[in-house]
Amino acid sequence: MSKIDPELKKKLLKETQTPFKGLRRILWIAFSGSAFLGLLIMLSQIASGSDLQLNNLFIQLVACLLFPTLLFLDRNKD
């Protein structure tokens, strides 16, 4: 017979199943924003006519796909 509030117990059990979920989501949002900002800067450099290495553009595109995907996969499944 525990004296813990059932709502608190439910919240604590959920936290033990997915620790640091809030921190992970903040990081995925920050990394996604950074990737899209970097892609925007690279696209503006391409539009201005300056040379750009294709592997850097590829890395930026992969980051723009990867981080939002991780954010999507880390969502609540309830």
Q: Write the pLDDT tens digit of every residue in 49-69.
A: 988 888 999 999 999 999 999
pLDDT of 30 higher than 90: yes
Contact by Cβ (8 Å): 65, 39: no
pLDDT value of residue 78? 60
Three-state DSSP string of 25-78: HHHHHHHHHHHHHHHHHHHHHHHHCCCCCHHHHHHHHHHHHHHHHHHHHCCCCC
pLDDT > 90 in the chain, percent: 58
Domain residue ranges in the chain: 31-78
